[in-house]
Structure 1
Amino acid sequence: MKMTVSFGRMAAALLIGTGLFLASCSKNNDEKTIVSAEQVAMTTASAESEAEGEIIFDDVFNNVMGVNATVGIGGTGEFQANQSDQPGTLQSTCFTLNFDFLAAPDTFPLKVTIDFGTTGCTGRDGRIRMGKIITVYTGPLIRPGSVAETSFEGYSVNGIKVEGQHRVENKSTSTQFTFETKVTNGKLTRPNGNTWTWNRTRTITQTDGWGTPWLASDDVFTIVGNGSGTVTIGDRTGTWTSTNVEPLVKRFNCRWIVKGKQAIQRNDGPEGIIDFGTGDCDNKATLTVNGVSREITLK
């Protein structure tokens, strides 16, 4: 039977279970087993941190691209008016937009602030956002060479505080639409104080939707790349590196990554594999650590 768990509950249960096991066994006879249990717990927590970071910063990418057709392609993320997995009308009053022309009268560079307020803005995707996403565009992101650099001010998603820098650069050629995204000093903090930091680089390549350049809903992209991170749960800290096993698949008409696999390796622990599925638009993924698989729910 599959288990649906959250990052906090899984990690806490595993770590508490490890402590009880330590108290009931002799150190001389069972030390290797005890260390293995702790390693599995931290690898599991590291893998879930990677998955959650991927989803949250993918949401940032969607919103940076989605503001309008002047700075991006328009109509993605919170700006998508008609999304198959998000019924209802766009909540246009849930957030505000501010445009600051940094070299007026020139259009670019342009600073765009998406302000979700301080009391909580519930999007059509069910996520509650607060604070600001602040992006400076050097030019339209559909133009090769253009860059968008994003920072955050009091920003959170479902109570998870988001910090760091997010960068998008258009590296397209005449035959391929490609973006490079980077997260530098990314940091996510849960209300209970648990944190994870993240640095990663991804190459996002369009594989479908070329025939309708101004219609984002039919665009499909593959995502490949590597990264590294650190997760802290109470007084325990684990570091990891992530490597793409199978390209991740992102459809702009779905808010989740729908396919692909990412490997998570801790220096002193077993490898974890995150499997995002076979193409269905849902918030489920499978996490396998030390031969044991669990279904996890993405936030």
Structure 2
Amino acid sequence: MKKRHVFKKSILMLSVLAFAFVSCSEDESVEADTQTRDMTEVRLASEVDIAGATISDIIIDSYENQERNELNRTTSDQSYLPDCVTVTVVLEQGFREITLDFGSEGCIINGHLLKGQIIFSYTRDIEAQEILISYNLVDFYFDAKQVIGSRTILRQFSNENGNPQFTHSLDLTIIWPNGAQASREGLKIREWVEGFDSGVFSDNVFEMSGNWTTTFVNGNTHSYEVLTPLRKEVVCSYFVSGSVDVQRTNFGGTFDYGDGECDNQATFTTNNGNVIDIVLN
């Protein structure tokens, strides 16, 4: 009887250990799947950043180029837009509407394929310290991702540092070819820190601050706040430095674009200290 009791007890212990092992394995698998989903959303959100920054670069460049043309009464060739972009300008008393058409086949801008149209307008006043630019995206695609948006950029000719500044009200939705979808709302402030008085757009550098939210189609919402200004050199497709705090329920960390190199490498440091390498698309 004693041996049989020991045998039954051993079987029970083995069963408990097996159940615990299976439970731990399942928990680890769920945790791994959750982290993979979270990091996928962080990477997709960074693609929204890149698309939004490129759109802003294009609008700012085209606005500045148009103003130079009118002030100098000559056609400027300083725009960094390639010849495949068709630019149409509607001139009315104190009003300008500019259509940038990238065509159905698309144009390569800083390594990205853009299709469709960006249409923006503003009221022209050369003595005004602020100009409000309204834009609309029409059948617009960025590297096969559809971008939907209609918002404003406030152009201040001089901020407290004496630099031009653009305050961008964000309202963008991006749809990836695989059906993933994210919407972006918030505010980005772009300070023009280098090149604004050269007349050559390719040497321009912006630093960005602000805060915004990104909501995915599954309902997950990430909140973002710039910790270190994001440095955008217009000749580079990516931010070259800067960091952003990213938070969501039970998940968060710091997204870092690096130390100044123009590359597609970034890192994400989770709240518990894990460092994950990110390759940007």
TM-score (norm 1): 0.74
- Paired residue secondary structure (2:54): helix
Aligned with 1:156 (options 138, 141, 145): 141
Please, what is the CA RMSD of the aligned residues?
2.9
In the alignment, the residues of structure 1 paired with residue 238 and residue 261 of structure 2 have an alpha-carbon distance, to the nearest angstrom, of 9
Aligned with 2:58 (options 19, 40, 63): 63
Q: Give ranges in structure 1 of 5+ residues lacking alignment.
A: 1-23, 81-89
Q: Give ranges in structure 2 of 5+ residues lacking alignment.
A: 1-19, 70-75
Q: CA offsets, 1:1-59, max 9 Å, x none?
A: xxxxxxxxxxxxxxxxxxxxxxx9756x6776555444423331332132111110111
How many residues are aligned here? 252
Contact 1:161 1:188 in 2 (8 A): yes
In the alignment, the residues of structure 1 paired with residue 32 and residue 179 of structure 2 have an alpha-carbon distance, to the nearest angstrom, of 23
Q: CA offsets, 1:178-198, max 9 Å, x none?
A: 2111212x1100111111111
Residue aligning to 1:183: 170
Structure 1 position 196 matched with structure 2 position 182: yes
Structure 1 position 286 matched with structure 2 position 267: yes
Q: CA offsets, 1:226-247, max 9 Å, x none?
A: 0001123xxx442110011111
Shift in Å, 1:126: 2.8
Aligned with 1:50 (options 45, 48, 55): 45
Residue aligning to 1:130: 115
Contact 2:124 2:131 in 1 (8 A): yes
Change (3 A) 1:204 1:39: same
Structure 1 position 244 matched with structure 2 position 226: yes
In the alignment, the residues of structure 1 paired with residue 119 and residue 134 of structure 2 have an alpha-carbon distance, to the nearest angstrom, of 8
In the alignment, the residues of structure 2 paired with residue 253 and residue 111 of structure 1 have an alpha-carbon distance, to the nearest angstrom, of 26
In the alignment, the residues of structure 1 paired with residue 276 and residue 108 of structure 2 have an alpha-carbon distance, to the nearest angstrom, of 28
Identity %: 22
In the alignment, the residues of structure 2 paired with residue 142 and residue 33 of structure 1 have an alpha-carbon distance, to the nearest angstrom, of 63
Residue aligning to 1:115: 101
**What amino acid is the match of 1:116?**
F
In the alignment, the residues of structure 1 paired with residue 57 and residue 31 of structure 2 have an alpha-carbon distance, to the nearest angstrom, of 39
Change (3 A) 1:72 1:121: farther
Contact 1:47 1:272 in 2 (8 A): no
Change (3 A) 1:250 1:142: farther
**What amino acid is the match of 1:240?**
H
Q: CA offsets, 1:162-192, max 9 Å, x none?
A: 00224211134372322111212x1100111
Rg larger in structure: 2
- Paired residue secondary structure (1:257): coil
Which structure shows the bigger proportion of residues in helix conformation?
A: 2
Shift in Å, 1:149: 1.4
**What amino acid is the match of 1:96?**
T
- Paired residue secondary structure (2:66): coil
- Paired residue secondary structure (1:193): coil
In the alignment, the residues of structure 2 paired with residue 153 and residue 198 of structure 1 have an alpha-carbon distance, to the nearest angstrom, of 17
- More contact order relative to length (CA 8 Å, sep ≥ 6): 1
- Paired residue secondary structure (2:42): helix
Contact 1:113 1:132 in 2 (8 A): yes
Structure 1 position 275 matched with structure 2 position 256: yes
Which range moved further: 288-297 or 109-118? 288-297
TM-score (norm 2): 0.78
- Paired residue secondary structure (1:123): strand
In the alignment, the residues of structure 2 paired with residue 53 and residue 35 of structure 1 have an alpha-carbon distance, to the nearest angstrom, of 27
Contact 1:43 1:265 in 2 (8 A): no
